[in-house]
Every structure is written in structure tokens, then in C-alpha cells.
Amino acid sequence: MTGGVLPAFAPIWALTGLGYLLGWFRLLGERADEVLTKFVFTVAMPAVLFTTMQDTPLTALVNPGVVAFLVGTVVVGAAGFALAKWVFRRKLSEWAVSGMASCYANAGNLGIPVSMRVLGDSAFIIVLLLLQTLVLMPSLLALLESDARRPGRSRWKTLLMLPVRTPVILASLLGVLFRASGLRLPQLVAEPLHLLASAGVGTALLVLGMSLAGGGPREGSGTRRAELATVVGLKLFAQPAITLAVGLLLGLPHPALMAAVVCAALPTAQNIFIATSQYSLDSRFVRDCVLVSTLVSMGSLSLVSWLVTEVI
């Protein structure tokens, strides 16, 4: 990678920092972060993923690094579940959330920019998005629904409709379909779609920064703070370390190893907070997991990328 891996992070953290300033000083208005978040996840990022997938050979989605990433995710997720249940004595829905927060990576508004800037393409992150949204998120929702047992809601309908109601997944699937079938959008449609996609990555980073401007972690009990530190440690350090170890054991080629480890080092996804906020749970804890892991990842993610690129 020309000039090393760390310079590739400079524009990522610069735009995130700009977003933080915009949010802190409310330069775009009180609810600008909510509006831009909806724009990113319902319009801009789907455009990025569709155009990327339409131009990506399907063979690029078959990446041996996926195995290493999955092992790291399963091991760390299981550790998060076990610690929350038997050490921190949480109920089903709470230890499910803690476990998922320990291993569910922010593949959207941070993973895509990191993939495109640091890895050079977004093929691996698309596979990751599909796996997380089609497997991990339904698993979390199933556990939450089982514990909540809310009347008047169809659990299976919620789970089955999840891919359709998630624009980034729907766009990725449509992109794969277009690529496999050889279909191409008319130029009249493709050109504005590419223009829209070009705004997606930058806007996602601004939104990420604005989301961090809401204040630091809320006060909580010593046990809750210890659990927060455990979740962040598992996500940012244990998951990439296990993924790296598995990748080295499998003898992965360096590009596949780099993709797996860097994606494993991504912070906790905001989707966990969004899912939790729909239930009668302490969503502030998950919000703090997202906030703290994202802040710490500004250093740890750059360090992990540098180590894999320059040292391993």
C-alpha cells in the first residue's frame, strides 16, 4: 500500500472529526444527525453498495478470510455471552445484547470507508454486511423477542422481513443479482446513482462524527462500567487477535488476512443500539459500548492495520 497504511486513515479521521465539530456546535441544526443518518442508510450507502457490487466480480466475494473472521466472531461472541450471563448476572435479553456488542462490527458507516480507503475495495465488507444482517441480527432479534414476548407482534414476520426492510442489504442483493445476470442500468439511471454513491462514504463519516458529539458515557455502577470495559476490550482487541491467529494458522494470503483482521477490529455497530432501543432494556449501556468502542478504535484500528501491514 503506497505510503503505508496509516496515511489511508487520515481522511477517515479528518471527516469524522469534522462531523464531531458540526454536531458539537449544532452548525447544521438540532436534528441534523438524525436526518443525515436516514439519508446515509436509506439512500447513499445503498447506492454505494449497489454500484460496487454491480462492478465487482462474484469471485471476489469468495474470500478465505471470511473463515478467520467468523471464528473470531463466534469465539468472542460466546465469551461475551458467557461473561454477561455468569459473571455480570444479566438476564437473557441483556446478555444477548452484551454478547452481540462484543462481536458485531460497524460494517456500515465506518467499515465501508475503511475498506475502500485501507483495503482498496469493499468486496469483503459486503460479505460481512450480508453475514451480520442475515445471521447475527436475526439471532439477536430472536433472543430479544423470546425474552420480551410482546403481544400483538409477529416474531417470525419481523425476522423474515428484516432483509427487505434493510436498504443496504437489499441494495447488495440487487447488485449481486445484476452482476450475476449481466444486467446493466440505463445510463440515464446509472449516472445519477454513481453521483449519489460518491457522496455516501464522506457523508457516512460526517454522521459517525456527529453521533459522537452527544456526550461521553453516562454514569453507572462499578459493575456496569466493568462490563462496558469488557465488551470494548473483546470487540477491539480480542476479536482481531483471535482472527489474526486463525488467519496465520490457515496460512491466509496477506490481502485476505488484512481484510479479516481490519474488519474484526471495527467498533461495535450502531445497529445493536437501534435494535435494543425498541425493547424495554437499558439502551444507554449499548449506546456507551458504541460510543467508547468507536472513540478507542480511532487509535486501535489504525494500530492493528499498521501491525498487520508492516509487522506481520
pLDDT over 90 percentage in the chain: 29
Q: What is the pLDDT of residues 291-311, one digit of tens each?
A: 899 889 989 998 998 888 876
Secondary structure (DSSP) of 278-291: TSSS-HHHHHHHHH
More confident call, 39 vs 141: 39
**Residues 44 and 197: beta-carbon distance below 8 Å:** yes
Tell me the H-state helices in 25-64: 32-39, 45-54
**Nearest-CA neighbor of 77 among 107, 100, 46?**
100
**Nearest-CA neighbor of 107 among 257, 268, 273, 244?**
268
Residue 141 has pLDDT above 80, yes or no: no
Question: Can you give the pLDDT at residue 107?
Answer: 86
When pLDDT is cut at 50, 70 and 90, the band that residue 261 belongs to is very high
Question: Can you say whether residue 221 is alpha, beta or left, with left for phi > 0 and alpha for psi between -120 and 50 degrees?
Answer: beta
Q: Domains in the chain, start-ordered, CATH in brackets?
A: 6-311 (1.20.1530.20)
pTM of the predicted protein model: 0.79
Mean pLDDT of the chain: 83
Phi/psi at 268 (5° precision): -60, 135
Question: Can you give the pLDDT at residue 3?
Answer: 45
Question: Can you give the pLDDT at residue 192?
Answer: 92
* Over residues 260-279, mean pLDDT: 82
